[in-house]
Structure 1
Amino acid sequence: MRQKYRWTISEADERAAAGLAAAIGVPPLVGRLLVARGLTEPEAARSFLSAGPEQFHDPFLMKGMAAAAARIRRAIDEGEHIRVYGDYDADGVTSTALMTRLLRKLGARFDTYIPHRSREGYGLNVGAIDLAAEAGVQLLITVDNGISAVDQIAYAKERGIDVVVTDHHEAPPTLPDAAVALVNPKQPDCTYPFKGLSGAGVAFKLAHALLGEPDLSLADLAAIGIVADLMPLTGENRAIVKLGLAEMNRRPSPGVKALSAVCGAEPGRLSSGRIAFGLAPRLNAGGRLAEADGAVRLLVAEDDEEAERLALSLDQLNQERQQLVDDTLLEAEAAWQWRVAANGGMPLPVIVLAGEGWNAGIAGLVASKLVERYYRPTVILAHDPETGKCKGSARSIDGFDLYAALRECADEMEHFGGHQAAAGMTIRMDRVPSLETKLAALAEAWLSPEDWTPKKKADLLCEASELTLEAAEQLTALEPYGNGNPTPRLVLREAAVADAKSMGKEGKHLRALLAQSGRRIEAVGFGFGEEAGRLGGSGTVDVLGELAINEWNGSRRVQFMLQDWRPASLPVLDRRQERDWVEAVRALADAAPLFVLSASGQAIARLEKAAVGTSGAALYAEGEQFASRKAEQAEETPPYARGSGGARLALVGLPDGAEALDGLRLALQGCAPLEEIHLFVEDSRSAAEDAARFALPTREQFGEVYAMFRRQSNWIDAPDGFLRQVADRTGWPLAAVRMMQEIFDELGFLKMNRSSVQVVANPPRRPLDESERYRKAQRRAEAAALAEMSFPNLQAWLRQLANA
């Protein structure tokens, strides 16, 4: 199993955590989590946990808010025709719905307009402005768009339409100065304290400004927009979402109630997770595949029957969207694999794909899935051959600012907008290769080797005894969870796997029992079904995941929701009993890249004859060669092409001598990190035969033999006869006695020539391991002893060697 993520584990100050928990009256586990997330002061922690209206900032601190509110009030007072110009994603439709509710309250004369995703694309366009002018619109209020629409707003002014922009996207260098007001906390010189609002969040602040106080009946729509647009659930956003959830659970609007029902959400128990994975995809489905107006009508519906009908329609569109995403993903993956093959098998640092017939409305979803699978910045474009243009979306990885990168490539595109993690663009098909080249160069320049492996930050290192139902209930104090305030991730180290089984349809999921210090906890891993065998055979493991409560038939129990795992120590698998070891090695090579090492040239020859080397295995007969090639590959392969996880090694036979042992030691240390070792044996030679080939005398036995030399005269003639006498008296093989003589010679205790040996009188004292010959004999003896070593000891020896 390849560990999917790089883990970083926060180190909470235990004393500070205990003090904080006591000061604000929360359980110790909650105190530890607050400290781990940087909330060390009681006031900050209380503010985070309470998250109420007192955290709302004065809306007029936002640059442009006073001018926007004044122009809208004038339009209402004078009965002007106002048009709310929205966007087709969930944040855009909730922004539009929020403005609809607001303007109804204020008695305005208004209507709404949302551009069609595939026909018009994102943001203001000239055609829509012409329609507004023809309809007699005098004031256009953009929500969740407009900050980049310099030319379009200038055109609207020419047509006699004033424009108030409310947006939250990154501000470009040139702003639309033809607008009567720009409301965006990210624009230059805006001193508003919180910059993380979504489009619906900015609309909520506009409502606050126009009404003179925050209207919590609008917080439900703002909350949906904030969560759906993956805005950070910190600061003002956290307060809006917490209050909005309370509003939805106490007094849900007909639209929210109907949408929750088709998602299967239990009444009164809507959460930020349900918004993200239930409500938001359905609100997005309309804009992706049809018109977004249906989602707006649902959210502002005042009749339950109408709301139910609109919710069912969105649910059906969402099902169609899911199938379309699956189909497009298959095509995109095939196109990507072709691109990799065309590049000599070397993956590129970015994925940029354009497909004819693809739907621009699902481009972002497909891009997200490719990022999840291949972890590199991804652009998916729908190509229209009639116009030669492409419209699409991009998604990024941590460390790569997508919006900044697109600004560097602005001359390649007709239009683009977005933020660090996601963006949309329009580009001509003939400029797509150039965009890919530029983005690839930026990715290589901006990202470090570590950035190419996804990471998960864990909040705490826990003991199994802490993972209780009570603890899971205590953690709800930190809700709502989402971007910027994720569900607490915990790491449990060195847990024994008591049971691991696949479950669910086609065995795609995993259920296991983890045990530590007498405490057991059930672990569930969605999508981990194939790992059941490896998890169960790994001995002790480290696991990363979240604590959850499983409710079924009135009972409640705690579960550990697995997100990643790794063996607590290097897995060494004993496969020496497999008769057809060549076929076993081939199966390993077919499954994933593999290194094969054997001190036996004959074993390597058998593998080469069986063409195992063409199945993804690299074969080595020398450890030095193996380690050297691994180092070369590390230099030759760019970090984005290496993948996560370490090397898999098949070791065929144990070292049978000093040189082979040196080679193995060099190989194991040179190819770190190792993911696992599979141990095979080339022939059926018994362990006793291996061990009997050589043993190393003890230091006392060396001393005994040296004393025999000393008892002779200074010169020993016919030394071979003397060596045989020593062998007979000690019981050591003649070869071993001859080796001891050579070691004494190397250390200066003896002087040897062809026909005699001189015993050196009073030589300086020197330890045996100063002799290279002795050290080589030690390694040779170590290699011989491996053959009779128990497998647990052999595992420990190989692990120690690999980690040295």
Structure 2
Amino acid sequence: MKRKYRWEIREANETAAAELAAALGLPPLIARLLAARGFRSAEEARTFLDAGAASFHDPFAMKGMAEAAERIRKAVRDGERIRVYGDYDADGVTSTALMIRLLRRFGADFDTYIPHRSQEGYGLNIGAIDKAIEAGTRLIVTVDNGISAVEQIAYARERGLDVVVTDHHEPPAILPEAIALVNPKQEDCPYPFKGLSGAGVAFKLAHALLGEADPTLADVAAIGTIADLMPLEGENRTLVKLGLERMAKQPSPGIRALAEACGTEHAKLSSGRIAFGLAPRLNAGGRLDRADGAVQLLVTESAEEAERLASRLDALNRERQQLVDETLEEAERMWLRRVEELGGRMPETIVLAGEGWNAGIAGLVASKLVERYYRPVLVLAYDAGAETCKGSARSIDGFDLHAALTEMAELMEHFGGHQAAAGLTIRIDRVPELEKRLCALAAEWISDEDWLPKRTADMVGSVSELSLETVSQLSRLEPYGQGNPTPRFVIREAAVSETKAIGKEGKHLRLVAEERGRRIEAVGFGMGEMAAALEKGASVDLFGELAVNEWNGSTRVQFMLQDWRHAALPVYDRRTEKMWLRSLVRLAEGEERLLVLCASHAAWSEALASTELEARGAIVARYGEWERMPEPLRSTVMGESAAAASDGGVASMPDGGTGSASSKGRLSEGLALALAGLPEQPDAARSLARLLGAGHPIEAVYVYAPEGNGAPASARRPAFPDREQFGRIYSLFRRQGSWIDAPDGFLRQASEATGWPLSVVRMAQEVFEELGFLTIDRSNVKVVASPARKELEQSQRYRKAKENAELMMLGRAETAELRAWIRRMAGARR
């Protein structure tokens, strides 16, 4: 089983952890976790843990804030008409709602405007400016947009309309000439925190106008921050913490109704429930309809109206989910056809444009394609007969999407966004060129390791540490979210006690693991098919989060499994399976590269005759043949050189045998090794040992018994004398003193007396001669009276005989012994 993620495990500075624990009275595990996340001073950690309104920065430290606040105050004083110009996503909706609450408090003359996503697109547009002028507007205040609206704001100035921009997106090289630009990401802005959302910037504007950071506005600002995936650190953490407290104790009618529509209680709202419950519903209005209903929901004082609006958004969200599923299915078919046209090669980026698709869900479809294929994705939508298309892009770690689009800005009519996500408008005939250049940049910028998604664990934890008390202690680090994720742990070298596929159709995995005598239950959603790969006794590393399982009156800690890997080379003993060849074919279906080594001619012939194994590119050989494979077949199987793989078919072996050659390329990704019967002779076992120890990327070993003997019983095992038994043979020799080595002489008597075969007794005689305990002159053997003390291991004959005996025992080894031998030959640790 391949890992889902590339693991990164933080390392805590133990000195810093100890100092944090002592200064703040923290439990050791919490102090270690904070130290692992980079906290060094007690003051820094205290600010993080006790985030409150007092920790907000001075809003006037933000460039343009003083000018923005003064222009809005003037408009309020003079009774000028203000128009709040928002955006249709959850961040824009909450920003707009915050400004409505704020301007109502001042008694301002104002209204709001949110452009239609598909009809107008993102940001200020000329038509909307004309409408504002017709409505008597004197001042436009943008929220969550405007930083790129150079031409539009220039047009507004020409028409005598002032514009104050509040935004948080990446500023372009040329900035608009507005009355004020408020964006902490401006190059020369001294504001110390750059990670605010659009709603966060609006909250800071309110802070400037009110003279204080008002917690009653923190609820909508918190939702915008979480929905826009802003890092929950610095001011964002404080803002979300205050917002969650507000929603729990004094929710607005709209937030209460929206929480109920999500099937949760307002008092139990968390960053996760907002991200996966409230935010999608607030977004749904702007994706499929106008966003005004979502804004009204957040500002209404009527419980009845709130319930109606929340119900409408919930229905739109269900419609949105269905539309996403349908578009995703169509987009994936389009992508797979594209890959097929390229001969199976997957381009570095996915760029898809579909007629009739809804641009409002393009980002959601792109995100799901990123999850499935893990590469940057751009999804574009256009109407029949249109010359341009609009869409959204999502990226992966290691590829700055905004920087990439900036490199080819001349291709697009408009674009904006940040490192991980962007939106754009482009002429349809320019999409192929955009795809070509994006692929070239991705190939250049993305490193090999970045093609596997990364998950970061905070620390390695023992099962004894991961308790209910630990879960309670971890609550001090909430709220969790972007930049402050739920703590993740790695449990190393845990022994699998139980595994079971659970849930409908066995889609999920339940696992019980044991480490140092302590057990923990783990659940992996969507991992049911992995149950077969986790045999009892397997040593595994587990990656996941802690949770509490409350059921039937009992409460216990549960490990929410996100990924796992074998801690040692996995060895699957399948010698009890009667239909061994059918099992081998199923194995070949799931493995990219498979080498089958056969112990007997019968098993080799049967496996070689399997057209199914050949069709799946499996290599079939006898023990020892892998060392004599010709190039490039040997490189294809073992991954030893860069030689090109064979184009398929059957390759001849030096002894006249054959092996089917795969066209799948080298085995840098790993090799599955299947043993169709264990070696029956020492030379074959030594060949297997050399294969295991040669450093090839062997991912797993599967052992079958084609002759139908199954797993052996220990009573059938041949034996080799231990130290005490060698001592007993030597005692017989000393009592005899001397003898003639003859077929029916003293050695046979010693064999009968000890119960060991004559060959073993003769081997012992040769060992004692080599050690100087005996002398042999032709057939005359004599015990040395006072020999020098020596260990048995000093005898080469002893070492060779012991090795041969162990190798002869291999075919009858029990599962634990077999695993131990294979892992020892391959190197104990993966």
TM bucket normalised to smaller: 0.7 to 0.9
Helix, strand or coil: the match of 2:521?
strand
Retained in 1: the 8 A contact 2:635–2:641?
no
Structure 1 contact 363–392 (Cα < 8 Å) conserved: yes
1:363 aligns with 2:366: no
Alpha-carbon distance between aligned partners in 1 of 2:333 and 2:820, rounded to the nearest angstrom = 43
Q: 1:375 and 2:374 equivalent? A: yes
1:22, CA displacement in angstroms? 2.3
The corresponding residue for 2:44 is 44
| Higher mean C-alpha displacement, 221-230 vs 354-363 | 354-363
1:136 corresponding residue in structure 2? 136
Q: Secondary structure at the match of 1:544?
A: strand
Alignment correspondent of 2:74: 74
The amino acid of 1:504's aligned partner reads: G
Alpha-carbon deviation of 1:521? 2.8
> How far apart are the structure 1 equivalents of 2:812 and 2:686?
19
C-alpha distance in 2, partners of 1:653/1:309?
A: 69
What amino acid maps onto 2:127 in structure 1?
Answer: G
Deviation at 1:581, TM superposition (A): 2.3
What is the CA-CA distance between 1:330 and the residue it aligns to?
Answer: 1.8
Structure 1 unmatched runs, 5+: 705-721, 745-767
Q: Identity percentage over the alignment?
A: 60
| Cα shift at 1:309 | 0.6
Structure with the bigger RCO (C-alpha within 8 Å, sep 6+) is 1
What residue number does 1:296 align with?
A: 295
Residue 437 and residue 774 in structure 1: after superposition, are their counterparts in 2 closer, same or farther (change >3 A)? Answer: farther
Map 1:512-591 → 2, pairs under 5 A: 512-535=511-534, 537=536, 539-551=538-550, 556-591=555-590
User: Counterparts in 2 of 1:116-515, with a 5 A limit?
Assistant: 116-176=116-176, 178-515=177-514
CA contact (8 A) 2:682 2:808 kept: no
**SS of match in other structure, 1:369:** helix
Give the structure 2 partner of residue 55 of structure 1: 55
Q: What is the CA-CA distance between 1:13 and the residue it aligns to?
A: 3.4
Q: Which of 623, 627, 641 matches 2:626? A: 623
Work out whether residues 464 and 520 of structure 1, in 8 Å CA contact, stay in contact via their aligned partners in 2: yes
Query: Could you say which residue in structure 2 is the equivalent of 1:754?
Result: none
Distance 1:261 1:461 in 2: 38
Residue pair 2:252, 2:301 contacting (<8 A) in 1 also: yes
Task: Provide the rounded CA distance (Å) in 2 between the counterparts of 1:776 and 1:345.
Answer: 51
- Tell me the residue number matched to 2:820: 796
Q: Is structure 2 residue 89 aligned with structure 1 residue 89?
A: yes
Aligned CA distance change for structure 1 residues 775 and 402 (closer, same or farther; 3 Å):
farther
Q: Which amino acid counterpart does residue 17 of structure 2 have in structure 1? A: A
The change in CA–CA distance for 1:113 and 1:346 in structure 2 (over 3 A counts) is: same
Distance 2:151 2:610 in 1: 67
Distance apart, 1:615 and its partner CA: 4.4
Amino acid at match of 2:675: L
How far apart in 1 are the matches of 2:163 and 2:409?
Answer: 25
Residues 398-452 of structure 1: per-residue CA shift (max 9 Å, x gap)? 1211111111222222211111111111122222222222122212211221111
- The one-character-per-residue Cα deviations of 1:323-381 (angstroms, maximum 9, x if unpaired) are 12222222222222222222212222222222222221111112112211221111122
Q: In the alignment, is the contact (CA less than 8 A) between 1:647 and 1:676 conserved in 2?
A: yes
In 2, the alpha carbon distance for the partners of 1:778 and 1:99 equals 84
Structure-1 separation of matches of 2:387 and 2:683: 65
1:633-656 alpha-carbon deviations (Å, 9 max, x no partner): 99699xxx9999744332323345
Q: For the Cα contact (< 8 Å) 1:413–1:427, is it kept in 2? A: yes
Q: Deviations over 1:646-680 (max 9, x none)?
A: 44332323345677556544544567544322112
> Quick check: 657-666 or 646-655, which moved more?
657-666
User: By how many angstroms is 1:693 displaced?
Assistant: 13
Relative to structure 1, is the Cα distance of residues 361 and 231 closer, same or farther in structure 2, using a 3 angstrom cutoff? same
Residues 124-165 of structure 1: CA deviation (Å, up to 9, x unaligned): 222222222222222211111111122222222223222211
In structure 2, relative to structure 1, the CA distance for the partners of 1:584 and 1:512 (3 Å cut) is: closer
What is the CA RMSD across the aligned residues, in angstroms? Answer: 4.0
CA 1:119–1:788 in structure 2 vs 1: closer, same or farther (change >3 Å)? Answer: same
The alignment partner of 2:549 has SS state of: strand
Q: Deviations over 1:585-611 (max 9, x none)?
A: 111122342412315676555444322
Instruction: Give the direction of change, closer, same or farther, for the CA distance of 1:398–1:670 in structure 2 (3 Å limit).
Output: farther
Alpha-carbon distance in structure 1 between the residues aligned to 2:12 and 2:699: 30
**1:414 match: secondary structure:** strand
Counterpart of 1:53, as a letter, is A
Amino acid at match of 1:41: S
- Aligned counterpart, 2:778: none
Contact 2:636 2:667 in 1 (8 A): no
User: Is the contact made by 2:718 and 2:809 (CA closer than 8 Å) also made in structure 1?
Assistant: no
Distance 1:668 1:393, change over 3 A: farther
Q: Match of 2:307, as an amino acid?
A: E
Gaps of 5+ in 2: 645-664, 731-741, 752-756, 771-791
How far apart, CA to CA, are the structure 2 residues paired with 1:175 and 1:773? 85
TM-score (normalizing by structure 1): 0.86
Task: Tell whether the 8 Å contact from 2:578 to 2:708 is kept in structure 1 after alignment.
Answer: no
Q: How many matched pairs?
A: 761
Q: Determine the structure 1 residue equivalent to 2:783.
A: none
* Alpha-carbon distance in 1 for matches of 2:669, 2:163: 53
Task: Report whether the alignment pairs 1:677 with 2:701.
Answer: yes
Evaluate the alpha carbon distance shift between residue 672 and residue 477 of structure 1 in structure 2; reply closer, same or farther with a 3 A threshold: farther
Does the CA contact (< 8 Å) of 2:399 and 2:446 recur in 1?
yes
- SS of the equivalent of 1:264 reads coil
**Between 284-293 and 409-418, the greater mean CA deviation after superposition:** 409-418
- Return the offset for 1:313: 0.7
685 and 100 in structure 1: CA distance in 2 versus 1, 3 angstrom threshold:
closer
**TM-superposed deviation, 1:214:** 1.3
Q: Is the 8 A contact 1:630 1:670 kept in 2?
A: no
| Structure 1 residue 246, shift from structure 2 partner | 1.0
Structure 2 CA distance for aligned equivalents of residues 394 and 664 of structure 1: 50
Q: Mean Cα displacement is larger for which, 504-513 or 147-156?
A: 504-513
Q: For residues 485 and 149 of structure 1, do their structure 2 counterparts lie closer, same or farther at Cα, with a shift above 3 Å needed?
A: same
Alpha-carbon displacement from aligned partner over 1:458-510 (angstroms, at most 9, x marks no partner): 11211212222221111100001001111111122233333333333333223
After superposition, the Cα gap between the structure-2 partners of 1:164 and 1:777, relative to the gap in structure 1 and judged at 3 Å, is farther
Distance 1:498 1:418, change over 3 A: same
- CA shift digits 1:493-537 (9 cap, x unpaired): 233333333333333223333333343333222222223343354
How far does residue 269 in structure 1 lie from its aligned partner after superposition? 2.3
Cα–Cα, structure 1 residues 774 and 474, in superposed 2: closer, same or farther, change >3 Å? Answer: closer
Shift of the alpha carbon at 1:803?
3.0
C-alpha contact (below 8 Å) 2:635/2:666 kept by paired residues: no
Distance 1:659 1:395 in 2: 56
**8 Å contact kept, 1:694–1:780:** no
Rounded Cα–Cα distance in structure 1 between residues aligned with 2:132 and 2:18: 61
Provide TM-score, normalisation by structure 2. Answer: 0.83
SS of match in other structure, 1:268: helix
Question: 1:83 touches 1:140 (CA, 8 Å); kept in 2?
Answer: yes
* CA distance in 1 between partners of 2:362 and 2:605 (Å): 50
Q: Tell me which amino acid in the other structure corresponds to 1:3.
A: R
The offset of 1:224, in angstroms, is 0.5
Is the contact made by 2:375 and 2:396 (CA closer than 8 Å) also made in structure 1? yes
2:272 and 2:717 map into 1 onto residues whose CA distance is 65
Letter in 2 for 1:558: V
Q: For 2:51 and 2:34, locate their aligned partners in 1 and report how far apart those are by CA, in whole Å.
A: 14
Q: Could you say what secondary structure the match of 2:441 adopts?
A: helix
2:234 maps to a residue whose letter is G
Paired position in structure 1 for 2:810: 786
Q: Tell me, in whole angstroms, the C-alpha distance in 2 between the residues paired with 1:789 and 1:628.
A: 31
Contact kept, 8 Å, 1:631 with 1:670, in 2: the verdict is no
Contact 1:544/1:563 (8 A) holds in 2: yes
